[in-house]
Structure 1
Amino acid sequence: MKKQMVKRSAFAFMAVAALASGCQKAENNSETATQEQNNTSEKKYLSQPLVSDIYTADPSAHVFNGKIYIYPSHDIEAGTPENDNGDHFDMRDYHVFSMDSVGGKITDHGVALDIKDIPWAGRQLWAPDAAHKNGTYYLYFPVKDKQDIFRIGVATSTSPSGPFKPQPEPIPGSFSIDPAVFTDTDGTSYMYFGGIWGGQLQRWQTGKYDSTAAPEPSGNVAALTPKMAKLSSDMLTFDGPVKDVVLLDKEGKKIMADDHDKRFFEAAWVHKYNGKYYFSYSTGDTHFINYAIGDSPAGPFTYQGVLLNPVEGWTNHHSIAEFKGKWYLFYHDTQLSGKTHLRNIKMTELKHRSDGTIETINPML
């Protein structure tokens, strides 16, 4: 498993190198590789880290009370061995960050939720998201339970910066990772979620958890779909069944499992622009953030292209938010550490073309 991760990590690095002249080839010696990664004088990044005193990743951004609030993962050096299931991403708490203006000071509001305060949690607090309704702020988070199965929990606060108090149990019927909550203009909220490989989505194909399932389907069969569910009015449970989010190619056919440049891997996000719904996601081992467009928050969504090309590092995870009339992409890379599991969040402007498509963003210049 570790050998496979190293191979795929090398692929990701080469993909970035194709985008950025002057990127050096990774060396086997970890110390040398880290020095090369940190040698920013020979690399040109589209944007710089928003936070540099701790490692942050998977930024979910929202505008609350006229400010940008960012809810990222908090990467740490946990000493957990690296593998394809992502056990080395062994996060244990969340920090919340805010900005009054783009390019301005970013404030760290401290620990918003700690794994030790979640009664049902076992290990690995992965990428969270947040929402607001009726004066309450909600933090949605995936964490493995004490049986090592990913579930999705929710915590509440009267402040967008927390601290957040978790519910005593995970959301009934929830599973896998990467919750992303979208609230439509009619006030209805939906959660999108799922991630394959370490995210365990492939283990739920029969409707029950199967620890023996393959990492993902292969061959000329439909790819696994992300999931969605309508949220209840109190934002604490699902209001109805979990449904598939259908992704189609431009010919109207389902995206196939072997099409790793297009198939869903993890990191679902939804935003609405000019009456259309944009579903964006990571392709995982090919390292793209793609997007698809639909006429309904439930889809189907038709693939349009690449939103963000591969970043430095293995994972690619994002969010999209509008602030003062402009749209922004929030993402991460490994500029500060050169290690796949110690990442730093960034942001850059995102531009919709007149026909509704999105200009592809290159994270390396």
Structure 2
Amino acid sequence: MIVRVKMFVVNLVVVLLMISCKLEQSKITYPYMFKAETNPFVKHIRTADPDAHVWKDGKLWVYTSQDHVPDSTLITAPWHVYNKMDGYHVFSTENMIDWTDHGEILHSKNVEWGLKEGGFMWAPGGAYKNGIYYLYFPHMDKENKFRTGVATSKFPQGPFVAEPNFIEGTSGIDPMCFIDDDGQAYLYFGRMMVAKLSDDMLTLAEKPKRINAGNEKIMEGAFMHKRNGKYYYSYTNHKEEINHGFYSIGDNPYGPFEYKGPVNP
């Protein structure tokens, strides 16, 4: 009986904390300004999948997904529990201390081609070209298949307006747009896929190609950057017990890439 009472008290405390947290979040008005002197720098909402850029205004802009999964399920949750991820936010700063949360910039309810139940708004990727800001995002279509959508805005803080259809030829999760020195944009998405984007940044200019990264242990989170003429293709594997972040180096955006191992062993 004592054990049952204790468990009841513990569960009641957890529920009250969750309700309190939701009530606190509901009181926030945007844009919301806060100071970040420790990690994590965002504490007023639960965020994931940061995609960081320094745009032409010199500020650092961080685009994130938002996690609504209850704390009690996070550790043992099967992947489908994360259908509760929804509502992208963007944060900006000039000094890494003073931050602004510009609020929700896109939600599944604004995506015509997506599941009517919503959710499944996972890791986004931002880009800027020709005076327009682009937000590439994964979402499930009405046939329960992951596709890449794209939304646009004239301002880095949005709001972003989603295109009426997903990008044909895409699949999988975690899209990322890389723009090379010559202005050509590439879309990386899913399990080791890449394709040039058309000049409008809204469609693929070619059939997607599979990347040879010199390593098949790739699950998600593909990212591309360029340094001293070399292309760095990085990615994660959450099923790897010791090293989760890996990278490979190549001479062009398509690869092939030479596997270099974990980023931080």
Query: Could you say whether these structures have the same fold, taking a TM-score greater than 0.5 normalized by the shorter chain as the test?
Result: yes
Could you tell me which residue of structure 2 aligns to residue 304 of structure 1? 260
Give a deviation string over 1:256-298, Cα, whole Å, max 9, x none: 5xxxxxx111100011111111000001211511111101111
* Distance in 1 separating the partners of 2:71 and 2:205: 40
Q: Tell me, yes or no, if structure 1 residue 143 matches structure 2 residue 109.
A: no
Provide structure 2 residue ranges, at least 5 long, that are not aligned to the other structure. 1-9, 15-37
Whole-Å separation in 2 of the counterparts to 1:162 and 1:127: 17
Match of 2:229 in 1: 275
Matched, 1:265 2:219: yes
Equivalent residue runs for 1:160-175 within 5 Å: 160-175=156-171
Q: How does 1:24-173 map to 2 (within 5 A)?
A: 48-64=39-55, 65-77=57-69, 83-101=77-95, 103-122=96-115, 123-173=119-169
State the TM-score, normalized to the length of structure 1: 0.58
Q: Is the 8 A contact 2:69 2:81 kept in 1?
A: no
Greater relative contact order: 1 or 2 (C-alpha under 8 angstroms, separation 6 or more)?
A: 1
1:156–1:165: 8 Å Cα contact kept in structure 2? yes
Asked if the contact 2:65/2:86 (under 8 Å) is kept, the reply is no
Label 1:89 to 1:306 Cα distance change in 2 as closer, same or farther (>3 A). farther
> How do 1:190-205 residues align onto structure 2 when only pairs under 5 Å count?
190-195=186-191
Secondary structure of the structure 2 residue equivalent to 1:177:
coil
How far apart in 2 are the matches of 1:84 and 1:114?
Answer: 23
Seen in structure 2, the aligned counterparts of structure 1 residues 228 and 121 have a Cα distance that, compared at 3 Å, is same
Contact 1:75 1:89 in 2 (8 A): no
Distance change (3 Å), C-alpha of 1:79 and 1:49:
closer
Q: 1:88 to 1:79 in 2, by over 3 A?
A: farther
Match of 1:229 in 2: 195
Identity %: 44
Alpha-carbon distance between aligned partners in 2 of 1:193 and 1:66, rounded to the nearest angstrom: 28
Whichever residue aligns with residue 94 of structure 1, its letter is Y
In structure 1, the residue corresponding to 2:260 is in which secondary structure? Answer: strand
How far residue 83 of structure 1 moved from its aligned partner, in angstroms, is 4.5
Q: How many residues align?
A: 223
- 1:89 CA drift (Å): 4.8
Contact 2:61 2:91 (8 Å CA) reproduced: yes
- Whether the aligned pair in 2 keeps the contact of 1:278 and 1:293 (CA below 8 Å) is yes
Measured in 2, the distance between the counterparts of 1:52 and 1:119 equals: 31
Q: How does 1:323-342 map to 2 (within 5 A)?
A: none
CA shift, 1:300, in A, is 0.8
Asked if structure 1 preserves the Cα contact closer than 8 Å seen for 2:91 and 2:99, the reply is yes
For 1:247, the aligned partner's letter is A
Tell me the distance in 2 between the aligned counterparts of 1:233 and 1:109: 29
Q: The residue matched to 1:116 in structure 2 has which SS?
A: helix
User: Which of 266, 284, 287 is the matching residue for 2:238?
Assistant: 284
Question: Match of 1:247, SS?
Answer: coil
Q: Which runs of 4+ in 1 moved over 6 A?
A: none
Distance (whole Å) between structure 2 residues aligned to residue 281 and residue 89 of structure 1: 22
The structure 1 residue matched to 2:175, chosen from 164, 173, 179, is 179
Map 1:309-328 onto structure 2 (within 5 A): 309=265
Counterpart contact for 1:80–1:88, Cα < 8 Å: no
Q: Distance in 2 between matches of 1:180 and 1:115?
A: 19
* Two-structure CA RMSD over aligned residues (Å): 2.1
| Residues 46 and 68, structure 2, Cα contact 8 Å, conserved in 1 | yes
- 1:53 counterpart letter in structure 2: H
Deviations 1:167-225 (A, max 9, x none): 00100111110001110110001011114xxxxxxxxxxxxxxxxxxxxxxxxxxxxxx
Ranges in structure 1 where 5+ consecutive residues have no aligned partner: 1-29, 35-46, 196-225, 249-254, 257-262, 310-365
Task: Give SS of 1:88's match.
Answer: helix
